[in-house]
Amino acid sequence: MRHQIFFMFLQHLYLQNFRNYSSQSVAFNASKTILLGDNAQGKSNLLEAVELLATLKSHRTSRDRDLIQAGTSTGHIKARLKRELGLSELNLVLRDGGRRAAMLNGETFKRQQDFLGNLNAVQFSSLDLDLVRGGPGGRRLWIDTLLTQLEPVYAYILQQYNQVLKQRNSFIKQQTSAADGQRFELARIDATQMAIWDAQLATAGTRVIRRDRGFCKD
C-alpha cells in the first residue's frame, strides 16, 4: 500500500487562550525553524498546537479543558498552510465542557475525523525510546496516530473496531455477573451470541490488520 504525500508548508500559526498563550501569532518564513527560549515559556505548547491540528489529539492530555487558558471557556488554534493547490486555512475551536469545532477554509466539519489529513506532522522526542523499550501498546498507538494522518478513513475503521470490542466485552461482563443460578441454561444462549460478537470483531479487526500490514510493508 503506497501513500502519496503532497507538498505542504505551515506558513502561519495563531493561538488564542491556548495553554499559556492569551494571543500569539507566529509566522514561519524560513524552510527550517528552531524554537529557542527559557523553560516554561511555551515552546512545547506551540508544538502541541501543531500536533492537535494534525491529529486532533495531544500526547499530554485527553481533556480539552487542560488546553484552554485558565479563566476562559474557549481556545482557538488557527493555521495557514501553503499546499500544491493553493492556501488553506485551518481552525480548531476548543471548548471547556463543549464539543470542539474543526473548520477548513471557514467550513465546519460535521464529523471531526474529516479534518484529519489536512496537515501532516511527525514528532520526535526522548519519549520515542519507548517505541523500542516499551510495551506493544505504545507502538500500537504510534502506528494508529500516523495512519490517521496518511489515510483519514483509518480513523473510522479503528473507531468501528473499538466500538465492537467494547460492546463484546460489556456483553461478557453482563453474562458473567448474571449467570450463577442459570449457568447451564445461559451457556447455550452465550454460545450463539458470542459467535455473533466474535464474527463482528473478526471482520472489524481484519480491516485494521490489512491497513497495518500495508503500512509496515511501505
Amino acid (one-letter) located at 143? I
Q: pLDDT below 50 — which residues of the chain?
A: 1-3, 184-188
Residue 210: its pLDDT value, please? Answer: 87
**Same domain for 117 and 50?**
yes
Residue 184: its pLDDT value, please? Answer: 47
- Residues 152, 15: Cα–Cα separation, whole Å: 25
- Of 92, 144, 143, which Cα lies nearest the Cα of 118? 92
Note down the domain range covering 213: 153-217
- Residues 4, 8: Cα–Cα separation, whole Å: 12
E strands of 84-179, at which residues? Answer: 86-95, 101-104, 107-108
Residue 150: its pLDDT value, please? Answer: 78
| Domain contains 175 | yes
Length of the chain as a residue count? 218
pTM across the whole model: 0.66
What pairing do the DSSP bridges indicate for beta strands 101-104 and 21-27?
unpaired
CATH number for the domain spanning 82: value is 3.40.50.300
Residue 5: its pLDDT value, please? Answer: 53
